Structure 1
Amino acid sequence: MTSTLRRAGGFAAVGTLALAAPELGRAAAAPFAVVALLAAFVVDEGPVFELFARPQDRRDGRLNGLAGFALAATGLAILATAPRESMPTPVFVAAVLVVAYGNVGARAVERLWTDPGRSVAGFSLAAFLAALAGQLVVGWNLGRLPEAASVVFLAAAGALVAALLRSMLYERDDPIVMLSTGLLLWLFATIGVESGLTEVGAALLVTVALGYVSYRTGTASVPGMVTGVLLGLLTIVFGGVGWFAILIAFFGIGGLSAKYRYDEKSERGVAEDNEGARGSGNVLGNAAVALVAVIGFAASAGMGIDSALFRFAFTGSLAAAMSDTLSSEIGVLFDDPRLITTLERVDPGTDGGITWQGYVVGVVGSGLVAGVAAATFAFDAPALAALTVVCGGVAGMTVDSVLGATLEGGRVGNQTVNFFGTLAGAVVSAALAVALL
């Protein structure tokens, strides 16, 4: 066994202490707090130190990695045993085990393959199985087994969230990964899962299959693939198949547009990096607003907000993302672009530069999203509803171009501009729906 795999096994053993939470009750944080104190102030040599020490720990002469891991678990345990509004114990256990055993899966796969996609798959599978088993063990110990659909969904969502964060961060950032995963799973558990086990299982299989295809065809990087799978799963479970159809239409058409005449774009110096493969920043920049909208839809009953507004926010944001993507990917193939704020001629690929051909294609892209939305959602006035989506998409595309011309560059990156463009699309579409429908 390699040292990295042994070390991951050691962290997994510490993480397994979470399973004692039902027996320990209010003292569930104690084992992890003790481990954190020993790692930070006591153990500085010997076989235990050698097992857990990372390269930086050896230079510092202290098990900082183990201390941080145990402290993160301590924090989640405190949240799980708070007197009021406490985190569900199964969620606490799932968050700890996802990180602890996910790393074991990743290290085991890395012994055989160097492909980063397989490493992420190993992490995700081990994390999913560990979270699944942990929730069942704790539920059995507490005498109240959770719903099967909820168990599978939380295990899958936790594995994907942790895998995404791990692909973007470093091994030393595992405490951040654990805390973030725990808080998000708490949110998902609070919203609840209305779908049955069959629906959740089918959603997971479909999104994973599509994510694998996107990675193998080069339309998504590894983080982009994981982000897409997570977004797809949340969209199906919290929204439904219709929501997912709109999301997949954007990702599918948008991904293909990035590949369209890629060599020519490369020669012109306007091609996307990484051969057009979407990264996590690109995916989140375009779909973060849509994700918030679908979660808001699921939670709308408890907030007293009309759920229809979230439908329009969701479709408007993705219409804006589609419009901007198509106008950018197609528009750069034409000469003589003009800056949207001054109409002066600029070089192809200049932030905020537009062509009339690209703008027309962007309007068509917004219409495609509106058409899918009208076909999948039971709008009372489909034509008028589609019009609000198109208007939201065009407005978002325009805002994106204006921000690109005025703010993009330096501290304001393309992902930030994309986010505000999609936000504008969501707001305009929802506002028009309120005014017209």
Structure 2
Amino acid sequence: MQPTLRRAGGFALVGTVAVAAPVLERAAFAPFAAVALLAAFVITDGPLFDVFARPADRREGRLNGLAGFALAAAGLAILATEIGLPVGLFAAAVLVLAYGNLGKRLVAETSDNPFLGVAGFAAGGSAAGVGGQAAVASLTSSPVLLARFAFLAVAGTLVAALFREMLFERDDPVVMLSTGLLLWLFDGLATGVGTVEVAAGLAITVALGYTSYALGTASVAGMLSGVLLGLLVVVFGGFGWFAVLITFFAIGALSTKFRYDDKKRRGIAEENEGARGTGNVLGNAAVALACVLCFAASGSLPIDGTLFQYAFAGSMAAALSDTLSSELGGLYDNPRLITTLERVPPGTDGGVTWQGEVFGLAGAAVVASVALGLLPGVSTLGGAAVAAGGVVGMTVDSVLGATVEGPGFGNEAVNFAATLVGAAVSALAALVVLTAS
């Protein structure tokens, strides 16, 4: 057995102690605190040290990795017993990371394919997350809600996998704590999670993730970001919301790949063969994610949830409008700077072509049409509000590109600002329409 697999198995065994939290009650933190103390000050050599030691631990002569893991679990245990974090979510957060890492290491024994590694993490973490919640429910005589447990386990696993791709192995404590806190948020919003929505959300988003990676339209981290976003949109928003989201991702990805070699010769091609990373995905979709979470919480907010629906669609219209404007418009000659209309070389930030503007208008219209047809309560004027948000967001993106984009304000920040403006314009326009009617 490889040392990395043996170590992952050891961490998984330590993490399994989390399911005893209902029995230990307020002392649930104690086993993990004891492990942390032993790892930091007692176990400095011998068989146990060899099982848990990472390369950095061997250099320092101390099991810092195990100590950090155990301290993070102890912290979550205190949140569960003293602050109100559901005990099942505490167990899930610990287990999805521990068994996710084990699943990834098991795959690594036979393959170094990064997608298969992430799939192993997702399978191991999701299964352990469901099992941990079910075990806690049994120990507390609570109902076993498999659909809800599955949603939370998979969402937590995707969060953990994404953070693990972005961070380092030594950052497991940050991953665990972040996963636990986000699961707490998702649990509070998932008041009406149904079996159909969860099953469909899982099936659709897994298919989306595999397709995006297989076609080279997203990196592993970008794929995880998209899959997590898709799952949350289906569960918290619905299938109409997902249709709007996938319209952007599908058409945007195809436009990025369209005549890629020509774009490369012109110096305007996306890096990494057009595969979108986490920064690109979140730059375009962070506002949409905020909108769907606010929609899920709208019952507790003094704002009509319908406005978040328009804001969501407006942000996606802006994202697709800008993507088509740059990816397709950049194939044409004689771009002009949007602020001065002087001619600039292709690929210049803020440079636009009339063809690109037309493609951008078409992108906004496509998203508006999908919203009109599939989002409940969106009227013809509401569709126009979505399209307007898309066009304004595209224009703002170009203006920011011509004026402030640079090392301190990169492309992802510009995309975020443009989608935020698109969301605001659509929501305000919809408010006027709804008020007038």
Is 2:381 the counterpart of 1:384? yes
Is 2:427 the counterpart of 1:427? no
Is 2:241 the counterpart of 1:243? yes
Q: 1:405 aligns with which of 377, 388, 402?
A: 402
Preserved CA contact (<8 Å) 1:193 1:238: no
- The aligned residue for residue 25 of structure 2 is 25
Identity percentage of aligned residues? 62
Corresponding residue SS for 1:160: helix
Corresponding residue SS for 2:425: helix
Preserved CA contact (<8 Å) 1:150 1:193: no
- The aligned residue for residue 263 of structure 1 is 261
Corresponding residue SS for 1:87: coil
- The aligned residue for residue 414 of structure 2 is 417
Preserved CA contact (<8 Å) 1:193 1:237: no
CA distance in 2, matches of 1:412, 1:57: 38
CA distance in 2, matches of 1:428, 1:110: 48
State the Cα distance separating 1:378 from its structure 2 match.
2.8
* Structure 2 runs not aligned, ≥5 long: none
- The aligned residue for residue 223 of structure 1 is 221
State the Cα distance separating 1:146 from its structure 2 match.
4.0
State the Cα distance separating 1:193 from its structure 2 match.
4.1
Corresponding residue SS for 1:81: helix
- The aligned residue for residue 72 of structure 1 is 72
- My pick for the range that moved more, 345-354 or 89-98, is 345-354
Preserved CA contact (<8 Å) 1:286 1:422: yes
TM-score with structure 1 length normalisation?
Answer: 0.97
CA distance in 2, matches of 1:411, 1:38: 44
Corresponding residue SS for 2:9: helix
AA of the residue aligned to 1:140:
S
CA distance in 2, matches of 1:143, 1:118: 37
- The aligned residue for residue 35 of structure 1 is 35
Preserved CA contact (<8 Å) 2:89 2:183: yes
1:288-307 mapped onto 2 (5 Å cutoff) = 288-307=286-305
CA distance in 1, matches of 2:230, 2:190: 17
CA distance in 2, matches of 1:6, 1:406: 54
Preserved CA contact (<8 Å) 2:162 2:224: yes
CA RMSD of aligned residues (A): 1.1
- The aligned residue for residue 324 of structure 2 is 326
- The aligned residue for residue 368 of structure 1 is 366
- The aligned residue for residue 50 of structure 1 is 50
Q: 1:113 aligns with which of 111, 115, 120?
A: 111
Corresponding residue SS for 2:297: helix
Preserved CA contact (<8 Å) 1:149 1:193: no
- The aligned residue for residue 309 of structure 1 is 307
State the Cα distance separating 1:341 from its structure 2 match.
1.9
Deviations, residues 83-130 of structure 1 (Å, cap 9, x unaligned)? x5x000000100000100000000110111111000000001000000
Deviations, residues 110-159 of structure 1 (Å, cap 9, x unaligned)? 11111100000000100000001000001000110242221110011011
Deviations, residues 324-366 of structure 1 (Å, cap 9, x unaligned)? 1000101110111112222222111111111111111111100
Preserved CA contact (<8 Å) 1:396 1:421: yes
AA of the residue aligned to 1:416:
A
CA distance in 1, matches of 2:332, 2:144: 57
State the Cα distance separating 1:173 from its structure 2 match.
1.0
Deviations, residues 2-35 of structure 1 (Å, cap 9, x unaligned)? 0000000111111111011001111111111111
- The aligned residue for residue 169 of structure 2 is 171
Indicate how the Cα distance of structure 1 residues 195 and 19 shifts in structure 2: closer, same or farther if over 3 A, else same. closer
TM-score with structure 2 length normalisation?
Answer: 0.97
CA distance in 2, matches of 1:102, 1:55: 20
AA of the residue aligned to 1:434:
L
- The aligned residue for residue 128 of structure 2 is 130
Deviations, residues 263-285 of structure 1 (Å, cap 9, x unaligned)? 11111111111111111111111
AA of the residue aligned to 1:304:
P
State the Cα distance separating 1:195 from its structure 2 match.
3.3
Preserved CA contact (<8 Å) 2:130 2:146: no
State the Cα distance separating 1:304 from its structure 2 match.
3.2
Preserved CA contact (<8 Å) 1:158 1:181: yes
CA distance in 2, matches of 1:355, 1:151: 50
Deviations, residues 19-72 of structure 1 (Å, cap 9, x unaligned)? 110011111111111111111122211111111111111111111111111111
Number of residue-to-residue matches in the alignment: 434
